[in-house]
Structure 1
């Protein structure tokens, strides 16, 4: 065997090994990120359940899982913050206690525009 063939064979083996290492590393990274994302979304779901926003979603007929999977995490955080900062809690509690709510009649809600868009999009 001549030296050029040996060098080519060694180079191919090294590149093949690097490719295998890269593929394994990529799969591990994907699994890690998927688990981290699921854990983050579960934390959002827990927080959502403690807020009036979660009750409002239910009253509008929007499932929390659909909401959490269809909305960006940044938007969910903003909506949670607006819900926490709301000054209309008495009216919100009264309306939510009455049962299902129409998306067109939530003008008292800080998340009115967002929730109306979400309700419309998820119904279609």
Structure 2
């Protein structure tokens, strides 16, 4: 059994995708909405209220931090960045999901072998 480096409360899919979207560069709210939608092939659509509540929770846990504020066409855009703790969390969660997917694949392969038709045997 793999021991994961963080024993923090688990991440929701939305929170995981927000953190993953920040892994390569800081982004503002709308940038996060579009990146999360792209990463999930449109399956996860963040609404503003959901996004900003998630950002507050992630910041409170020290996983993200404000990066900078910019004014664009008279509107303030706050950019967020992934912290080192956030990067460690994304890596640990990614490993956990990879391990679970591997285990599921092994079980499915075993099921497929067990369900293979047996010639010469009638039921």
**TM-score where L is the length of structure 1:** 0.31
Q: Which protein is richer in strand relative to its size?
A: 2
In our comparison, the structure showing a higher alpha carbon Rg is: 1
Structure 2 length normalisation: TM-score?
A: 0.31
- Which structure dedicates a bigger proportion of its chain to helix? 1
